[in-house]
Amino acid sequence: MSHVFRLLGPVEAGLSGKAVNLGGRMRRTLLLSLLLNMNRPVSLDWLSEALWDSEPPQSATANLRTYAGGLRRVLTAEMKGVGIVASDRAYQLVASPSKLDLTSFEKLTTEARTALADRRPDVAVRRFDDAVALWRGPVGDGLAYGKPLAARLTVLHEQRLSALEDRAEARLALGRHSEAVADLRLLVGEQPLRERAWGLLMRALYGAGDAAGALGAYAEARDHLAGQLGLEPGEELRRIHQAVLHRDPALAPLAHRQAHVSATPCAPAPRQLPRPGLLVGRDAEARFLEEALTPTGAVPPVAAISGPVGVGKSALALRVAHAVSSRFPDGQLYVDMAGAFQQERAVTPRQAATWFLRALGDPVPGEPSLGEASTRLRSLTSGLRVLFVIDNVAGASQARPLLPAGPGCAVLITSRRVPALDHAGHLTLGALTPGDAVAVLAGHAGAARVAAEPDAAAEIARRCEHLPLALRAAGALLAARPDWPLERLSARLARGLCEILDNRDGEQNIRDRLWGSFELFRRTDPEAARLLWTITYLPGAEVTVTQAADMLRAPAATAQRALDRLTDEHMLRRAAPGRYEMVGLLRGLIPRDPP
């Protein structure tokens, strides 16, 4: 991930590889202080003590205002969504935490330690590697600062050392002793008084077959501790020393105390995303979803795309999923729940959870219950970075058992209606613009044919309601009939959509797909379905609440409820207050029998 602010080393700021000139040392020290307190007000008194390593000058407050003003001008000129806000004797840097490298470091180390506790050291090593790689040198390098800031930087320094030690622990659990030895030699050279690092080095040397080297490391550690602190090694270090001396068989399990490797070979990370189809436009929507799927906090992000049948929800979801797949190296899982079209084909949450578990390498015994499969899935992914794509969900109850809890995961859902899920970002997808609709038609029928008859192409796109599903069917029909001019199909569509509704789209034609969606809805709300069926025969383009009440022979409140339900399902849309119209292809659907 590219960070706007980098403080794990010399303080830097920049966008797209272009560094921002922050100015002199005091400005950079002020930025470091504000970044460590991002989105929280920092008092001028604290800043005065933090920026000056001796007694602050009498002009400290005036100087701080000058530094802050200079920083504000630089940052606001170069970056969007970043600002320095002044309040009552305080300054606050306002920005998304995801823009800061420290946020990523803390998130990665949390994921790594969770994986280590869950006996998945291979995942832990990858997370620790990513976290440690964010460090470019000592924090505050080249800056002078006072005691409050020095205390904060000491904490960060300790966090880095702990991450290095924990990574060594995970490597020992994987049997990668030589790698651990190399890193631990550097660590004890830098920090010769850290007993845990010496203990890890002794275990790594012994595991690599160098018992003499392990005993030598103990002697080095004792010399440093006695020479600089006047202390003997602690109990844990002495215990490891005794275990090496006696070639104690218990020493091998000792390396696995905090982590354990399963005897089952690790399964390759699943890459289940289907091949993306033709998608034209939707750039703003894609950017919104890519941002929404960026893990930044303790709760994994969920993004849901809703909209009418045929609007291109799945195509957009797959485009975005492929675009962000590199953020999720532990796998991308995909399932088509088929819940929006046919109940007979719908995948149950228990089935989907079981498939996901097996794809992640969990040998699920038999057919677990939904509760067991859901719990195992959350546990397995708690320290992983996995993208879940759950397509064609009928409702929130179908998706909720599949949601992970690990902060490194993300979920992308498509559904005809907006699913009621916590911590979810929602995008309602509408029809394409006329220009994009013609481009979709050209992608299937041929660009030269479309360019030769632009008016007919625009009319076909309009008859298809600018919906990708219908445009794809029309394009496929033209591709199968290369002798047809576009004007011929345009004239036929003027008499109705039967030509494309009956064109097969995979195993089903579009009419069957629409009918399956209608049938499924009819089972859940027969009254609203009866109203929709009646509206298809209404001569006008719009229906009012009064007309709906007459059709249902029911009170206006009942009609309003049915209209609202149909609107939520994206089968109707509000054309104006109190007036509704059919959505997309449904007007071309002639029911086989009344509900």
pLDDT top residue among 242 and 574: 242
Is the pLDDT score of 516 beyond 70? Answer: no
As a whole number of angstroms, the distance between CA 562 and CA 568 comes to 10
Is the pLDDT score of 520 beyond 70? Answer: no
pLDDT top residue among 588 and 18: 18
Give the containing element (helix H, strand E) for 572.
Answer: strand 572-576
Q: What residues contact residue 247 under an 8 Å CB cut-off, 6+ apart?
A: 211
**149-163, 190-204, 566-580: least confidently modelled range:** 566-580
Q: Which of 299, 296, 333 shows the shortest CA–CA distance to 413?
A: 333
Residue range 49-100, pLDDT digits in tens: 888 877 888 888 889 989 988 888 888 777 777 888 887 788 888 888 888 8
Identical topology for domains 180-258 and 525-588: no
Residue range 105-163, pLDDT digits in tens: 988 998 888 888 777 888 999 999 999 999 999 888 778 888 888 888 888 899 999 99
At 316 the pLDDT is: 93
For 525-588, CATH gives 1.10.10.10
**2-16, 176-190, 446-460: least confidently modelled range:** 2-16
Per cent of the chain over pLDDT 70 is: 87
**126-135, 237-246, 271-280, 365-374: least confidently modelled range:** 365-374
At 563 the pLDDT is: 86
180-258 belongs to which homologous superfamily? Answer: Tetratricopeptide repeat domain (1.25.40.10)
**312-321, 341-350, 508-517: least confidently modelled range:** 508-517
Mean pLDDT of 160-178: 91
Q: What is the mean pLDDT of the chain?
A: 83
pTM assigned to the model: 0.56
Give the containing element (helix H, strand E) for 508.
Answer: strand 508-509
User: What residue spans define the domains of the chain?
Assistant: 1-174, 180-258, 283-428, 434-503, 525-588
As a whole number of angstroms, the distance between CA 577 and CA 568 comes to 15
At 512 the pLDDT is: 64
Residue range 362-412, pLDDT digits in tens: 877 667 888 888 888 988 888 788 999 999 888 888 899 999 988 889 999
Residue pair 48/56 in contact by the 8 Å Cβ criterion: yes
Is the pLDDT score of 257 beyond 50? Answer: no
At 542 the pLDDT is: 80
Mean pLDDT of 188-208: 92
Q: Which CATH architecture has domain 283-428?
A: 3-Layer(aba) Sandwich (3.40)
So what CATH class is 1-174? mainly alpha
Q: Which of 395, 144, 124, 386 shows the shortest CA–CA distance to 260?
A: 124
